[in-house]
């Protein structure tokens, strides 16, 4: 079965700093990868996804992620974070037919 | 609001009691999922329905847990003889099988506290 590792459990940044959150999945082949975000008090929502094609995927709110097959990685990036990006971020891989396997999440705190 | 709704949002119960959670998915979605999330962990898959058929169950879903989706619309998750280890956030999600985008739409969850 697939598993997902997120290396940073807590990240604290100042506004305008650059962000990179690590995500690795356990085995290769064809993979569908996702980043979900949970803002304080809100439900999980999709940030971006990779199915095929261009390995650099752009999502909402200026986020992007790069799929590197050789490294089994799908890291999330944002050039300049804002206070409103404070949230918990989850990387996920699809297993089987639409079942998502999630990582443990990274809590991001952006200080103004 | 046309999103996924869950009820109740919070439930406090004593060990040994039974609890039931309800999920109403987005109306045109034929797939429905239950996940469990504990503190410091990501959501863990429990079970999945396509229409009224329960197609997959996790090993996490012990025999005290049962889920139904009798008419292919709303779903219920029942936990019998609750234990303190059942304390968690229970998340419901739905998706459209026809679009196959892989996007799950989550509800806000039902938080269970077992005393």
Shortest distance, CA B78 to any CA of chain A (angstroms): 21
pLDDT per position as a tens digit, A18-74: 999 999 999 767 789 999 999 998 999 999 999 888 999 999 999 999 999 999 999
> What share of chain B has pLDDT > 70, as a percent?
95
Contacts of B103 in chain A (CB under 8 A): 34, 46, 49
Structure confidence at residue B33 (pLDDT): 96
Instruction: Verify whether the Cβ–Cβ distance B42 to A43 is below 8 Å.
Output: no
Closest alpha carbon to B56 in B87, B32, B20: B32
pLDDT per position as a tens digit, A102-112: 999 999 999 98
Structure confidence at residue A1 (pLDDT): 79
Question: In chain B, what is the straight-line distance between the N-terminal and C-terminal CA atoms, in Å?
Answer: 33
Distance (Å, rounded) from C-alpha A70 to C-alpha B93?
Answer: 32
Structure confidence at residue B100 (pLDDT): 61
Return the residue in A100, A101, A106, A107 with the most chain B beta carbons within 10 A, the one to mutate for interface testing. A100
- Return the residue of A nearest to B4 by Cα: A43
Contacts of A96 in chain B (CB under 8 A): 56
Structure confidence at residue A99 (pLDDT): 85
- What value does the mean pLDDT of chain B take? 92
Structure confidence at residue B53 (pLDDT): 93
Shortest distance, CA A16 to any CA of chain B (angstroms): 27
Question: What mean pLDDT do residues B56-61 have?
Answer: 87
Instruction: Verify whether the Cβ–Cβ distance A43 to B41 is below 8 Å.
Output: no
């Amino acid at each position: 079965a697939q598993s997902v590792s997120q290396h940073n459990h807590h990240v604290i940044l100042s506004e305008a700093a650059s962000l990179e959150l690590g995500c690795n999945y356990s085995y290769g082949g064809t993979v569908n990868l996702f980043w979900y975000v949970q803002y304080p008090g809100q439900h999980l929502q999709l940030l971006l996804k990779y199915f095929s094609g261009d390995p650099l995927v752009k999502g909402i709110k200026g986020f992007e992620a790069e799929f590197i097959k050789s490294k089994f990685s799908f890291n999330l990036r944002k050039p300049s974070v804002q206070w409103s990006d404070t949230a918990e971020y989850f990387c996920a891989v699809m297993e089987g037919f639409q079942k998502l396997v999630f990582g443990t999440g990274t809590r991001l705190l952006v200080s103004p | 609001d046309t999103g996924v709704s869950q009820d109740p949002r919070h439930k406090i119960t004593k060990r040994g009691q039974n609890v039931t959670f309800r999920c109403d998915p987005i109306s045109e979605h034929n797939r429905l999922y239950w996940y469990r999330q504990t503190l410091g962990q990501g959501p863990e898959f429990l079970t999945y329905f396509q229409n009224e058929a329960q197609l997959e169950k996790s090993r996490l879903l012990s025999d005290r847990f049962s889920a139904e989706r009798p008419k292919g619309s709303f779903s219920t998750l029942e936990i019998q003889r609750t234990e303190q280890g059942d304390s968690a956030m229970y998340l419901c999600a739905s998706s459209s099988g026809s679009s196959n985008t892989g996007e799950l739409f989550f509800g806000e969850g039902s938080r269970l506290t077992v005393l």
